[in-house]
Amino acid sequence: MNVKVKDLTDGQSLTFYGLVTNLVKGVTSNGAPYLSVTLSDNTGSIEGKVWDVKEEQAKIVETGRIYEVRCEVLKYRNALQLRVHSLNNVDQQSFDLAEFVTSSWIAKDVLKEKVKDAIYSVRNEIYRKILIRFFTDYQQEFFDYPAASKNHHNFVGGLATHVVGMLDIANDLCQLYPQLNRDLLISGVLLHDIGKITELSGPIATEYTLQGKLLGHISVMNAKVAQVAQELGYADSEEETLLRHMVLSHHGKLEYGSPVMPYLMEAEVLSLIDNLDARIIALTTALSNTEEGSFTSRLFPLENRAFYKPKTK
């Protein structure tokens, strides 16, 4: 039986099978070539280094393929890491890919039902018809894609899981603050990240596409909302303008990639919900790989802070 990533412990020497989901070639300060790889299965991911890598080894390693990994497990900056001795080719057809990708903890049918209920709960006809069009066009991809290549919701179904988590928060906030325009907020939650289907390459070995690198998901989605509104006869309506503002401002600050700051109460709330859900999932993932009484490694999306995992339940 293949050892799973979640079962790896400090000091182990072993051989196991892992999917390469990220690959970086580098050179040490001494001029020696190395590979930095991310190896994944359906229980998690772990970083590994192949030091002084030989040319023939570097040539066979590709993202999106499963390899036999001969390695040692060690702890570096409070996180487990692999010293990889070799990555050996194996017959890809002899493995079930589902064993090597992390999926949402929420069943796809449940995600679909929650999204459908949210769409048809929107009373404003313009918002509702724009939503229906998008979720008809992207009904497959939306429920398969991750929400990011790393940091948060970076798993199969991560995009839908992120949105459904945000929908739950938004519904509670609308109960607490009835002054919020629920139709606008729910529509913004549903639409804000669909541009990631263009920005990212897919759910396995996720990378940024050319459009993702040069345009980004915010500008891609802004253009798509304008196009759909035009096709449905809603161009230049206030609803179209407000929806586009929700998309454009959802990162909250210019330095975080939003072309404009939020200038609607619902846009401000959307940016806060988006950030909250992303941070909680990033923290949950990091803490799940940390021993009680220890700190996580530094988390780049959380201001490079290390978080403590208490011993007290």
Percent of the chain with pLDDT over 70: 99
> What pLDDT score was predicted for residue 1?
63
The one-character DSSP state at 149 is S
Q: Are 146 and 155 in contact (CB under 8 A)?
A: yes
Q: Which domains does the chain have, with CATH numbers?
A: 5-99 (2.40.50.140), 108-285 (1.10.3210)
Residue 175 vs residue 56, higher pLDDT = 175
Closest to 164 in 3D by CA, of 142, 138, 180, 184:
142
pTM comes to: 0.81
Average pLDDT over residues 7-25: 91
> In the predicted model, what is the mean pLDDT of residues 127-151?
90
- 109-123 mean pLDDT: 97
User: How high is the pLDDT of residue 76?
Assistant: 86
pLDDT of 152: 67
Helices (H) and strands (E) in the chain, counts: 10, 7
The alpha carbon torsion through 6, 9, 13, 18 (nearest 10 deg) reads 20
How far is 76 from 78, CA to CA, in rounded Å?
5
Assigned token pair, 101: 């990708």
Give the pLDDT band of residue 98 (cuts 50, 70, 90).
confident
Structure tokens at 165: 């988590």
pLDDT at 105 > cutoff 80: yes
188 pLDDT higher than 80: yes
Mean pLDDT, the chain, rounded, equals 92
Backbone angles phi, psi at 82, to 5 degrees: -105, 140
Contacts of 171 (CB under 8 A, 6+ apart): 186
Going through the chain in order, the beta strands assigned E by DSSP cover 13-27, 33-41, 44-50, 66-76, 79-89, 294-295, 308-309
Residues in the chain: 313
